[in-house]
Amino acid sequence: MQAYQVMPDDDMFTFTPIVLNTPIEAIVSRSGARVNCDACGEEIMNERETHQAGLTLCRACAGNLYYHVSVHVHAIQIEVQVING
């Protein structure tokens, strides 16, 4: 636990700007509601889960993301990979 207190944020976290496909009011519906995705195990909060074939799935596993990564971010990542490649 001490490592988390001294580890630099850049080493511990990855930040990726996103754009919401759904209004924030529709994403945060009921605070405190939590379940786990049957496919990937991710904790799903605020009733964002979907149900398919008897399974509880996060939107990523169900193929129904409520966000997308900014195209501008992809362009930057590709340029960095080519330069460092």
Secondary structure of the chain as H, E, C letters: CHHHHHCCHHHHCCCCCEEECCCHHHHCCCCCCEEECCCCCCEEECCCCEEECCEEECHHHHCCCCEEECHHHHHHHHHHHHHHC
pLDDT in tens, 26-49: 777 777 789 999 999 999 988 888
Domain range summary for the chain, segments of one domain joined by +: 2-84
- What is the model's pLDDT at position 53? 92
CA dist., res. 73 & res. 80, Å (int): 11
In the structure, what pLDDT confidence band is assigned to residue 52 with cuts at 50, 70 and 90? very high
- What is the model's pLDDT at position 14? 85
